[in-house]
Amino acid sequence: AQSVTQLGSHVSVSEGALVLLRCNYSSSVPPYLFWYVQYPNQGLQLLLKYTSAATLVKGINGFEAEFKKSETSFHLTKPSAHMSDAAEYFCAVKAGGYQKVTFGTGTKLQVIP
Amino acid sequence: GAVVSQHPSWVICKSGTSVKIECRSLDFQATTMFWYRQFPKQSLMLMATSNEGSKATYEQGVEKDKFLINHASLTLSTLTVTSAHPEDSSFYICSGHREGGQETQYFGPGTRLLVL
């Protein structure tokens, strides 16, 4: 079984401030973890993914995430928020070779000018 | 990159009619395609998994006779919402898994269905 929990359905940050979106996972086998971004009325775009290589993963648009097995976490960060970062972010988990991906409930990021 | 398209992007139909949504992988072969449904302000819920040339596997609670999925080729999967009703109004998103690729699904842009 696999699941993912995103803490905080809404997060507001000021432009230029640190972005931190939290994600905790549960998986019975070593997981693959993903962060996706969704803009209004659009599909999902992959930001970054962890597939058992380096625990610190760098993605597009300046985002990065760190896999911490001891904390079962995969939090998404960005040092300085930009207005264009305002969107909904989904954390997702896939248990090893099994193809089914389970998504979290999403976190809507608001960037305040 | 790997691109997935969906057609149409928007559809409005009358209650009782059927609607077909196409999902195409444009630059790769998708041995497996997934169909998701997303209600407003909610996450994606997997509806079914389809493998090319075989019957789709539906998630619990999804009516297979209502949501017909066909995956006739490695680049095309279709979702047909039969006898649509207003409660079927939603955002439908497909994704493709590339054979031999990394553990990533490539998502289409979604299709917004409104049933009147």
A41 Ramachandran zone, left/alpha/beta (phi>0; psi -120 to 50): left
Q: Which residues pair with A109 in a beta bridge?
A: A11, A87
Q: Give the sign of the dihedral formed by CA A14, CA A89, CA B25, CA A29.
A: positive
Amino acid at site B7? H
**Is the confidence at residue B1, as pLDDT, over 70?**
no
Q: In the predicted model, what is the mean pLDDT of residues B2-21? A: 94
Q: Which residues of A touch B6 (CB under 8 A)?
A: 43
B48 CA: distance to closest CA in chain A (Å) = 10
C-alpha dihedral over B40, B46, B52, B57, to 10 degrees?
-130
- Tell me the per-residue pLDDT of B38-79, one tens digit each, with 9 for 90 and over: 887 788 899 999 988 888 999 999 999 999 999 888 899 999
Provide CB contacts within 8 A for A95, sequence distance 6+: A2, A27, A28, A29, A31, A32
Most B CBs within 10 A among A4, A38, A51, A88, hence the mutation to make, goes to A38
Query: Per the CB < 8 Å rule, is A34 touching B97?
Result: no
Q: Which residues of A touch B32 (CB under 8 A)?
A: 99
Q: Which residues of B touch A45 (CB under 8 A)?
A: 107
List the structure tokens of B81. Answer: 């919402």
- Tell me the per-residue pLDDT of A52-100, one tens digit each, with 9 for 90 and over: 778 999 999 999 999 999 999 999 999 999 999 999 999 999 876 666 7
C-alpha dihedral over B8, B14, B17, B23, to 10 degrees?
10
Query: Per the CB < 8 Å rule, is B46 touching A51?
Result: no
- Tell me the per-residue pLDDT of A19-32, one tens digit each, with 9 for 90 and over: 999 999 998 888 89
**Cβ of residue A52 closer than 8 Å to a chain B Cβ:** no
Amino acid at site B79? L
Q: What are the CA-CA distances from residue B1 to residues A85, A87, B40, B57, B72 (Å)?
A: 22, 22, 29, 27, 23
List the structure tokens of B98. Answer: 């590339």
Residue with tokens 């049933």: B115
What pLDDT score was predicted for residue B40? Answer: 79
Give the DSSP letter of residue A28. S
**Is the confidence at residue B101, as pLDDT, over 70?**
no
CA atoms of A26 and A17, how far apart (whole Å) = 30
Decide if B106 contacts B37 (C-beta within 8 A).
no
Provide CB contacts within 8 A for B22, sequence distance 6+: B6, B7, B76, B77, B78
Query: Per the CB < 8 Å rule, is B43 touching A104?
Result: yes
List the structure tokens of B35. Answer: 């169909």
Q: Which residues of B touch A94 (CB under 8 A)?
A: 103
